[in-house]
Amino acid sequence: MGRAGTKKKKTARSSTKPGRAVTAAVLVCLCAALALALAVIRPWQRRIRPPEDLTATSLLVLDGGGGIMAQVEADTPRSPSSLTKMLTLYLIFDDLDAGKFTLEDTVTVTGEMATANGSKYGLRPGQVVTVEQLLAGAILNSGCDCIQALVSLSADSEAAFVERMNQAAEELGLEGSHFSNATGLDAADHYMTARDLGTLARRLVEDHPEYLDYSSQAELEIGGLEFRNLNRLVGADPRVLGLKTGTTRIGGNNLVTYARQGEESCYIVLLDSVSETRRFAETQKLLDLVFGGEG
């Protein structure tokens, strides 16, 4: 018999069932994650409406993180003209990083390089130029002669280099692009989409920010050679750090722009504007829409 007056103690039980506790914990975690995400999202990450008088056939505007702010025919393949050189130069900077050659290494210009089809910097047969000078001539002046000289350091032939370009396009996720030359000459099997150009521009800036050391300059002087940027916005608008211009008969007037204001940045891809002047004016309007006013 138990002792008189002695009562068994009852074990306290929680009024909350285990399943409810787990659900509450999950909700707390989700709320915390949402709060963090909202804190990271910048207030200007939003959609913008392209100007009604836009003449570009394709358009893509990305915020610095790759979010889409505006797009028009962004997945339509088009002739990219000299915007092609962004991928060519991406691979040249890869080779520099790998130590295949240095900025100080030189190339003796051949007649074939000097007479390359397309826009030229003005290299002369027999002229000895450094890799750094060739980079400036390709980025600022869009010289196909400079591109051919750089390609000669990287591959046995342009055809071999182009094969590498197509392989790199797959690796970079440029699903709507195909290349048949390293300079951007019009060809039936040479095309890119505005979306792919936006992707390429972001990778170029992120993987090889030294590209901007050239593209952000209105003028450069390297070893006695002078270079002038074809991008009129560079130097005129402090937000613009350049990237690449391009013009061909089929491709039209093209421009890819990287711009930064404070801690925010954006990428603008314009393809096939009606004129050289319009591509710059339309990019300027889009910059003002993105950043909320003139720089």
- Each residue's pLDDT, cut to its tens digit, for the chain (295 residues) gives 443 444 444 444 444 455 555 455 555 555 555 544 444 444 445 789 998 899 999 999 999 999 999 999 999 999 999 999 999 999 999 999 999 999 999 999 999 999 999 999 999 999 999 999 999 999 999 999 999 999 999 999 999 999 999 999 999 999 999 999 999 999 999 999 999 999 999 999 999 999 999 999 999 999 999 999 999 999 999 999 999 999 999 999 999 999 999 999 999 999 999 999 999 999 999 999 999 865 4
Q: Would you give the end-to-end CA distance of the chain in angstroms? A: 93
pLDDT score for 46: 75
Whole-angstrom Cα distance, residue 224 to residue 217? 17
Is-contact 186 248, C-beta < 8 A?
Answer: yes
The number of beta carbons lying within 10 Å of the beta carbon of residue 278 is 17
pLDDT score for 148: 98
With respect to residue 47, please indicate whether it lies within any of the assigned structural domains. Answer: no
pLDDT score for 117: 96
With respect to residue 39, please indicate whether it lies within any of the assigned structural domains. Answer: no
Residue 16 C-alpha from the chain's centroid: 54
With respect to residue 48, please indicate whether it lies within any of the assigned structural domains. Answer: no
Q: Is 227 helix (H, G, I), strand (E, B) or coil?
A: strand
Residues belonging to the active site:
82, 85, 142
With respect to residue 126, please indicate whether it lies within any of the assigned structural domains. Answer: yes
> What is 65-130 written as a DSSP string?
TS-EEEEESTTS-B--GGGGHHHHHHHHHHHHHHTSS-TT-EEEPPHHHHT-SS------TT-EEE
With respect to residue 276, please indicate whether it lies within any of the assigned structural domains. Answer: yes
Phi, psi at residue 288, to the nearest 5°? -65, -35
Which residues face 269 on adjacent strands? 60, 256
Residue 98 C-alpha from the chain's centroid: 21
Domain enclosing residue 279, as ranges = 54-291
With respect to residue 18, please indicate whether it lies within any of the assigned structural domains. Answer: no
**Whole-prediction pTM value?**
0.84
- Domain total of the chain: 1
Measured over the CA atoms of residue 279, residue 62, residue 142 and residue 239, the dihedral's sign is positive
With respect to residue 12, please indicate whether it lies within any of the assigned structural domains. Answer: no
Q: Where are the alpha helices (DSSP H) in the chain?
A: 18-40, 85-98, 111-114, 131-139, 144-154, 158-172, 194-207, 211-215, 276-291
pLDDT score for 18: 52
pLDDT score for 292: 85
Measured over the CA atoms of residue 205, residue 247, residue 103 and residue 200, the dihedral's sign is positive
Whole-angstrom Cα distance, residue 293 to residue 285? 9
With respect to residue 33, please indicate whether it lies within any of the assigned structural domains. Answer: no
CATH number at residue 65: 3.40.710.10
Whole-angstrom Cα distance, residue 102 to residue 131? 7
